[in-house]
Structure 1
Amino acid sequence: MLNTLRIASEQYHPDTGYDGFIGWVLNLMETIGEVGVGLAVFIETFIPPIPSEAVLPGAGFLAYDGRMNVWLAWLAATLGALIGAWVWYAIGAALGRNRTRALVGRIPLMEFEDFDKAEAFFIKWGGLAVLLGRCVPLVRSFISIPAGIEKMNFWKFTLYTTIGSGVWNAIWVGLGFAFGPAIKPVLEQWSGVLSNLVLVVIAVLVLWFVVVRLRKLMRQRRESDSTQTP
């Protein structure tokens, strides 16, 4: 994975002063535009290991640099989160608790525990969990499911999701925009070095997530086999 990312970044020859992987990502976001920001947030709804926090500050920086509209980036991100939430809400409402829980458990590297955490969060806080859950990693991806299962009022659900997602996205896009003056000279001088560091961090985080999940799945299978052995 690290080699793939490095090759992609080396193929990018920036004309904006940003080198390596960082330049490639910024160029990709600029090419796709604000719609790409919304798409990235939408994808995170179904693939939680891809954090929106890694995308939104970049959108804010591009807005500061005059290559993206900050308000449209924020709107696209919020719409992406809302549409993803609608999908999970509809799945929960249509399939019910047990079948939806089984579906989440079949998603690669996801666990039933991810569903259980979101459900417990919703049970504890009720409708407010939809609002607060947008700021909690993993929970924000699945908090819409128990809302759908419990048939929470759809328009109330939509309002809470929009507010929670809107505030969360505004924070991260705003950080990228606000720190643009400080980030730009650093990227212009050190983007190549920083790109290598980012690649290493991404590879380590992905590897850690995969290893932890696979070890847990293997342990659960061994325990299950031992209990079934006469």
Structure 2
Amino acid sequence: MITAGLIALAAAGTSGDGEELTGVAGWAVDLMERLGAPGAGVAIALENLFPPLPSEVILPLAGFTASQGSFSLASALFWTTAGSVVGAAVLYLLGAVVGRRRMYWIWERLPLVKLEDLERTERWFDRHGRKAVFFGRMIPIFRSLISVPAGVERMPAWQFLGLTLAGSAIWNVVFVLAGYWLGEQWHRVEGYAGTFQYVVIAVVVGLACWWLVNRVRSIRHQRPAGG
């Protein structure tokens, strides 16, 4: 059962410092109010499937809820990590269902891409796939996407699940404990994590633009002079 303090918090629609608890935070509070610690696991599983849902909000809020006595800290850590693994496993299965053959079929019909690019990506994943899955669990947005190529490349399921469990546990422990220790100031965690996420997105967008410019130049150079 949720504590009276958290029920009042959710009913008032405010955080501990008077700010509105709306959007994802309000939704997560409602899930944890209804389901307890498993509600935090459900929220994190959905965050894996829909990256716009920020774990940087859900995890500290789960820690804060645990600090109010609604459920134990151990339960918060267990269920959020279980949710991470379940959500990642669903995307892994999606990649496995799509499969290598369908992926090549789709890739050959995309503009500005070459078959050898996909082949190089496969070779890169063969060499660095384990590190990508492990460290990818700690990078916003990427932690969801990395599960798909792992499934496409048929990384052994036991290896994928083990690396996902280890990486997710580290990420979740940091954010849940931060929310637990910060108490009513749990929302401060989001600001630091948000800055990190923007940096990651900027780097990814920059690399994508660099790749696109180089690909267009390459195509122009390969065209006949009068083409």
Query: Does residue 70 of structure 1 match 2:69?
Result: no
Query: Does residue 153 of structure 1 match 2:156?
Result: yes
Query: Does residue 12 of structure 1 match 2:11?
Result: yes
* Counterparts in 2 of 1:162 and 1:16: CA distance versus 1, 3 Å: closer
Instruction: Tell me what 1:219 maps to.
Output: none
Once the two structures are TM-superposed, the CA of residue 65 in structure 1 deviates from its matched residue by: 1.8
Number of aligned residue pairs: give it.
Answer: 172
* Counterparts in 2 of 1:93 and 1:15: CA distance versus 1, 3 Å: closer
Once the two structures are TM-superposed, the CA of residue 12 in structure 1 deviates from its matched residue by: 2.8
* Counterparts in 2 of 1:65 and 1:90: CA distance versus 1, 3 Å: same
Matched-pair contact (CA < 8 Å) for 1:97–1:146: no
Q: Which has the larger radius of gyration?
A: 2
Q: Secondary structure at the match of 1:55?
A: helix
Matched-pair contact (CA < 8 Å) for 1:97–1:149: yes
Instruction: Tell me what 1:31 maps to.
Output: 34
- Out of 19-28 and 40-49, give the one that drifted further: 19-28
Instruction: Tell me what 2:21 maps to.
Output: 22
- Looking at structure 1, the residues matched to 159 and 131 of structure 2 have their Cα atoms a distance apart, in angstroms, of 10
- Looking at structure 2, the residues matched to 53 and 96 of structure 1 have their Cα atoms a distance apart, in angstroms, of 32
User: Structure 1 unaligned runs (5+)?
Assistant: 1-9, 104-115, 188-193, 206-211, 213-230
Instruction: Tell me what 2:89 maps to.
Output: 86
User: Structure 2 unaligned runs (5+)?
Assistant: 1-8, 107-117, 199-204, 206-227
Q: Secondary structure at the match of 1:22?
A: coil
After superposition, residues 76-225 of structure 1 pair within 5 angstroms as: 76-97=79-100, 99=102, 122=125, 125-180=128-183, 183=185
Instruction: Tell me what 1:43 maps to.
Output: 46
Matched-pair contact (CA < 8 Å) for 1:30–1:62: no
Matched-pair contact (CA < 8 Å) for 1:39–1:80: yes
Q: Secondary structure at the match of 1:135?
A: coil
- Aligned residue type for 2:173: A
CA RMSD of superposed structures (Å): 3.9
- Looking at structure 2, the residues matched to 101 and 30 of structure 1 have their Cα atoms a distance apart, in angstroms, of 45
Matched-pair contact (CA < 8 Å) for 1:30–1:68: no
Matched-pair contact (CA < 8 Å) for 2:13–2:21: no
Identity %: 36
* Counterparts in 2 of 1:31 and 1:20: CA distance versus 1, 3 Å: farther
The normalised TM-score by structure 1 is: 0.60
- Looking at structure 1, the residues matched to 37 and 12 of structure 2 have their Cα atoms a distance apart, in angstroms, of 22
Q: Secondary structure at the match of 1:56?
A: helix
CA deviations on 1:144-199 (whole Å, 9 max, x unpaired) are 1111111111111111010111111001001011222x738xx9xxxxxx9xxx9x
- Out of 10-19 and 143-152, give the one that drifted further: 10-19
